[in-house]
Chains A and B, each alone.
Chain A
Amino acid sequence: MQITDRVWAQLSAYLDGELSGRELKQVRKKIQTDPLIQAALEQLKITKQILQSAPQIQAPRNFTLKPEMIEVRSKKPSFPGYRLAAAAMSFLLVGVLILDFGGIFYKGAISAVSSPELFEVQLESIPESAVDAVQEPTLLNAVGEVAEEQAMAEYDEDSISVEAPAIEMETVEEEAAEVKTTEEVAESLVEGTAGEEQVEKAQDTGTATGADRSQGEDDFQSTEQILPSQTPETPPVVIGYYSEDEIHEPERSAGISILRILEITFGLGVVGFSAAAWAKRRKSR
């Protein structure tokens, strides 16, 4: 019968006093009952003794340090040129990324948090295409999470009437009245960021909803059709995304190409200089 690796490991650990509890009892029992294991333990014991009998070798010289050893080490070639260039490229890349995405997120967060009313207007005025937009994973979706959750909380409170099964016409009237006010909200939002499209959109929606109650009802129903398909985690995100996408499209398309080119350039720069520094250092060793 052969001794398994596990038993060898147990015997080795037993020899070093590294076993305890049940395992120790098991091994003791095996040693007492199995002559083969007894012999194996004896062999390990001898091997260990031979190793321990190896003479301690004297260091051939003193290894005390001299100041120049430390200085030489600290002055070891670090290829600052490549490293600095890589670091500079990294900073530039981060800056461009902030410019590219930071602004968009900021605007998205502002519009989502500060105007729950606008959310409702957009909810009502969003066509089916908005549902498609949900399925498009966007950076905007990912980053505006906090703002969206906040807006969602407000949205949920405000839109209880929307989710309630029995809907009264008064509620619809109130909704329509609120919609009118969004003309002002939209204007304030548009200032400095959005194009005229949003103003027109908000105006169109407001006018249409306010002027015709039945239209308001239709809008409401269309909204209701969208809502059940939305999971509790996602619904308002769609709206925020939708409006932002539309509002900022002209601006983004103008700046994107330059920013993307810069991002790629700086990204390649970081990789290139880092690789060069690494290669040079490796070569010098």
Chain B
Amino acid sequence: MDLKDQIKNSLQGDLDSFNQIVLEYQNLVYNQAYRIIGEPDAAEDAAQEAFISAYQKLHTYRGGSFKSWLLRIVSNACYDEFRRRKRQPVAPLYPENQNGNETESVSWLEDTEEKPEEFVLRNELSEAIQICLDRLELEFRTIVVLVDLQGMDYASASKVIDRPLGTVKSRLARARRNLKDCLQGFRELLPVEFRHLGEV
């Protein structure tokens, strides 16, 4: 059964058909949620919410890229999760200095007890990337995740976040610059071919 039939059956209330779609897209959805939120538990909640929303809003899907439509729902679920967590704060996403303010320095990325080599040993490049992503503003982060991690073009990303193409272009460039600076702090953790990441 192809996606079109699955959607058609789901619209008629066939939950099994929709669950086939879920199984097909759940890695994509969870990755998007995890990269935006940065916490596994919260990402799980957001992913589950996104699928429930997708089922209930399936009638609003008007053809075109189902992936873009779904990622838009996931992004919105992540924003909701952020708002909810903002109202009920658990732990700060960003490190705080002694005054309780969020720090802007890269130095907080350095774990005094954990050497870069150990970091590499744990194969935590993914985490290093996540730390740098977390330092970006939410919308910048979403755009980078959509374009660089999910491989979307600017037009699709623009539809997902409901922003003009020019905004996607400029914010992506700024986000990449910030990530470049942040990743310099993890130079030792990067694969050899990337270690000459320097300043410009």
Contact = CB atoms under 8 A, between A and B. Distances in A.
A222 B106 CA distance: 85
B173 A57 contact: no
A3 B197 CA distance: 17
A8 B154 contact: no
A9 interface: yes
Contacts, number: 120
A73 interface: yes
Interface string A47-67: 111111111111111111111
Query: Contact size class for A?
Result: 35 or more
Contact of B169 (A12, A48, A52, A57): A12
Contact of A16 (B23, B154, B180): B154
Interface residues of B, number: 49
A256 interface: no
A40 to B, nearest CB: 5
Given A18-B169, A50-B183, A67-B15, A61 B44 contact: yes
Contacts of B87: 285
Contacts of A285: 84, 87
Interface of B: 15, 18-19, 22-23, 26-27, 29-31, 34-35, 40, 44, 47-48, 51-52, 55-56, 84, 87, 125-126, 129, 144, 147-149, 151, 153-154, 169-170, 172-174, 176-177, 179-180, 183, 190-191, 194, 196-198, 200
Given A12-B176, A65-B18, 16 more contacts: A3-B200, A13-B173, A16-B153, A16-B154, A43-B197, A47-B176, A47-B180, A48-B176, A51-B129, A54-B149, A60-B30, A63-B29, A63-B30, A63-B47, A65-B19, A70-B52
